[in-house]
Amino acid sequence: MKTVQTVAPTLLPVSLSELKAHLRLDSGTFDGNLTLTQSLAYGSKAIQNNYTVHVGTGVDVLGKQADVLFHCGTNGATGTVDTKIQEADVLAGPYTDWIPAADPTAGIFAQVTTANDNADYKKAYTGTKQWIRTASKVLLAACEFGTSILVNAATTAEDSLLTEKLQSSIGDAEDFTGRQLLTATWKAYLDKFPCDKNYIELPFGNLQNGTGTAPIMTYKDCDGTVTTMAVDVDYLVETNGDECGRIVLPYGRTWPSVTLYPSNPICIEFVCGWTAVSLVPSKIKSAILLGAADLYNCRETKTDRQIWENKAIENLLYGKKLWSFA
């Protein structure tokens, strides 16, 4: 089986800021670590019984610690302001409300009235999306307010080197375990259908099977005609949790009996990997941090191979190794 990644992950299981915290590195100054970006300009906001008019501009917080600041001036008589945090994968959206499973109210500011206006409020964003903004609703009277995003992202002269070592360590962890850690799209190519079993095992674990992520299976005959097989009719999908997923023949079905094209005739396009950084096991994250730290600290004395022979790293990853493909 030959595999080719067609869509790379948009998230890292361990961020650059987490690596720098692990190494105790920062810019050297408190001010140098912080960036304040306006999301919604401060001013008097008219009555709007919706969350679609008074919305802020998205701010990039990927891999960084972030606080959302809500600056309140004077509310008009009886006026109220409701503000919440929204998140998105890309700047243009779509944005959805940030609703953490552990505390569904964590992304919602307490309503501001004339009793608690002229004050500043803040909430920490602990989600996993790249872009966040605020959305506000104003009732009964115009109110003065605005929002900004405070990002803590230490910057050092060696950020590029650290990023390189981090990416190398993530790649080494994926190679050792045989896994795709976070959501990516792959194509698997086969030269023939299996003759002795009713399934095809797919690599990398955490096979996804939902709207937009269901595996797509096609084959090309000797004339170059491509046929797309129908999921749940011609084949079934076994996700198998974080183990290797499979394409399985339904009861009473057989693999197509055709003369196949001589080069990569069978293609299975599939999406795999954990869907959120928070789902990646802590042992894998710890191994990545140890590997990246060693690659950085021993960059002049050890090779990549020598570092990944470290028994502590190996022991952390051993329990998550996919033996079929690693």
Domains of the chain in sequence order: 28-152 (2.60.120)
pLDDT single digits (tens) 145-183: 999 999 987 666 678 888 899 999 999 999 999 999 999
**pLDDT for 203:** 96
| Range in 120-124, 157-161, 177-181, 247-251 with the lowest mean pLDDT | 157-161
Region 178-201 average pLDDT: 95
* Cβ–Cβ < 8 Å for 117, 45: no
**Tens-digit pLDDT profile for residues 1-13:** 999 999 999 888 9
Is it true that the peptide bond before 215 is cis, omega within 30 degrees of 0? no
The tally of CA atoms less than 13 A away on the side-chain side of residue 257 is 2
Helix (H) / strand (E) containing 21:
helix 16-23
The pLDDT of residue 299 is above 90: no
Flag the least confident range among 23-32, 162-171, 216-225, 228-237.
23-32
Beta partners for residue 44, in sequence order? 144
Model-wide pTM > 0.85: no
